[in-house]
Amino acid sequence: MHAHDPAQAFAPHDHATCAAEALARAEEICAETGARLTPVRRRALEILLETHKAMGAYDVLDRLAEDGFGHQPPVAYRALDFLVDQGLVHRIQRLNAFTACTHPGGHKHAPVFLICEHCHVVAEAPGRSVQDSLERAAGEIGFAIERAHVEALGLCPACRETDA
Amino acid sequence: MHAHDPAQAFAPHDHATCAAEALARAEEICAETGARLTPVRRRALEILLETHKAMGAYDVLDRLAEDGFGHQPPVAYRALDFLVDQGLVHRIQRLNAFTACTHPGGHKHAPVFLICEHCHVVAEAPGRSVQDSLERAAGEIGFAIERAHVEALGLCPACRETDA
DNA sequence: CCGGTTTTGGTGATATTATAACATCACCCT
DNA sequence: AGGGTGATGTTATAATATCACCAAAACCGG
């Protein structure tokens, strides 16, 4: 599986490479924009990149604390807020949790999240057509969308078979 | 404006009628399914129907307490959970808040929520085409959607003009 | 390099949102 | 009446998120 296939998160893949590429890409993006990927921020991103499951802010915080960073909530929230602002991490509203973006920098990408209720992996699907429908529906009634969150709960391909 | 127009929430309308119809419809639905629209539950729904803004559970709780119901969080959460289960109320993930459904009972409706960042009104738009795109996108990678949340932030027609 | 400014990070306290666990009550059915 | 069920109340606590304040580090114009 190519590293940029949609929903790679649901398929077996070379995760070390997957994470390393995302991290490298994150560094490029920050370098380009002048944003500072400081140690806490970078570490927070690494932690999120370890898994395709979404992590709560306090889980990230615990990990950061283990690594010698502060152990108060703002430490995690500030790092996460920064990463979300840079588009390197997404917040999954449904779970009050965060997941690293697998293909950051994608030209204003409007992600659609698929959340497996069985294995808890979160994948980003190509959301262009969904966002287009959304824009159209909103446009018809004169609503101007600034940003949209699309999150679907269900079963990923692997868990469908397991459960069935 | 007809009571069932999409996104009526953004347009001036006879809200007393709007709320009364929704409440009547809720009673029908509960009668049909045997669900019990008890006093707290009914009151919680009435409270949510007073406005098209989303309300937090604790706001609803305060109102319920004023009306002589219990003043502990479970009182509100249980009533709200019931209403959500019956499809009479929707939870807006983005806001950790709740809004009454303006057209309950609609044939397994898969709503798309439009949240105005200026006036905070939440409207439900017809989401068929959005859900279809979503199903298609998920289907392509073998993901089986159980339910989806689509929430868009932006400006409603009225606030677009005001702000502009 | 200096000094002012901004950004970042640490910490304690607190706010907000949500649930667990258990007791009680009301109703229905027999 | 007895007993089951579902609804409600209450205490306590868990989980998530933010505020306020300070200190240190990075940046920037000279």
Report all structural domains of chain A as residue ranges with CATH numbers, in order of start.
8-163 (1.10.10.10)
Cβ of B41 near strand D (under 7 Å)? The reply is yes
Residues of B in Cβ contact (< 8 Å) with A123: 141, 143
Q: For B99-143, how does the pLDDT look when each residue is reduced to its tens digit (9 = 90+)?
A: 999 888 865 677 899 999 999 999 999 889 999 999 999 999 999
Which of B84, B118, B141 would you mutate first to test chain A, the one with the most A CBs within 10 A?
Answer: B141
**DSSP string of A66-89?**
HTTS--SHHHHHHHHHHHHHTTSE
User: What pLDDT sits at residue A1?
Assistant: 47
Cβ-based contacts (< 7 Å) between A 14-43 and strand C = 35-36, 38-41
Residues of B in Cβ contact (< 8 Å) with A102: none
User: What pLDDT sits at residue A91?
Assistant: 98
A55, pLDDT greater than 80:
yes
User: What pLDDT sits at residue B94?
Assistant: 97
Cβ neighbours of residue B25 closer than 8 Å, sequence gap 6 or more: B103, B104, B105
User: What pLDDT sits at residue B107?
Assistant: 57
Enclosing H/E stretch for B79 = helix B73-85
Distances (CA, A) of B113 to A57, A129, A147, B155: 26, 17, 12, 12
User: What pLDDT sits at residue A107?
Assistant: 58
User: What pLDDT sits at residue B108?
Assistant: 65
Q: Is the whole model's pTM more than 0.85, yes or no?
A: yes
Q: Is A155 in contact with B144 (Cβ distance < 8 A)? A: yes
Nearest by Cα to B106 from B92, B135, B126, B85: B126
**DSSP string of A89-131?**
EEEEGGGTEEEE-SSTT-TT---EEEEETTT-BEEEEP-HHHH
Reported as a pLDDT band with limits 50, 70 and 90, residue A74 is: very high
Which tokens go with B160?
């677009």
User: What pLDDT sits at residue A7?
Assistant: 74
Q: Is B126 in contact with A117 (Cβ distance < 8 A)? A: no
Q: For A139-161, how does the pLDDT look when each residue is reduced to its tens digit (9 = 90+)?
A: 999 999 999 999 999 999 999 98
Which of B52, B113, B133, B136 would you mutate first to test chain A, the one with the most A CBs within 10 A?
Answer: B133
Q: Crossing angle for the helix pair B128-140 and A128-140, nearest 10 degrees?
A: 180
Q: Which bases of chain D come closer than 7 Å to a protein CB?
A: 6-13, 15-20, 26-27
Q: Is B144 in contact with A152 (Cβ distance < 8 A)? A: no
Enclosing H/E stretch for B114 = strand B112-116
Per-residue buried b or exposed e for B88-104, using 16+ beta carbons within 10 Å of the residue's own CB: bbbbbbbbebbbbbbbb
Distances (CA, A) of B41 to B38, B84, B122, B153, B154: 5, 11, 21, 29, 31
Residue among A130, A155, A157 minimizing CB distance to B130: A130
SS3 state at A47: helix
Q: For A80-130, how does the pLDDT look when each residue is reduced to its tens digit (9 = 90+)?
A: 999 999 999 999 999 999 999 988 886 567 789 999 999 999 999 988 999
Contact by Cβ (8 Å): B73, B57: yes
Q: Is B154 in contact with A138 (Cβ distance < 8 A)? A: yes
Q: Is B114 in contact with A6 (Cβ distance < 8 A)? A: no
B5, pLDDT greater than 80:
no
**A154 lies within 8 A of chain B by CB:** yes
User: What pLDDT sits at residue A127?
Assistant: 87
DSSP single-letter state for residue B152: E
B3, pLDDT greater than 50:
no
Distances (CA, A) of B105 to B27, B28, B87, B91, B148: 11, 9, 7, 16, 18
Q: For B42-84, how does the pLDDT look when each residue is reduced to its tens digit (9 = 90+)?
A: 999 999 999 999 999 999 999 999 999 999 999 999 999 999 9
Contact by Cβ (8 Å): B9, B52: yes
Nearest protein residue by Cα to C1' of nucleotide D26: A36
Q: For A14-48, how does the pLDDT look when each residue is reduced to its tens digit (9 = 90+)?
A: 999 999 999 999 999 999 999 999 999 999 999 99
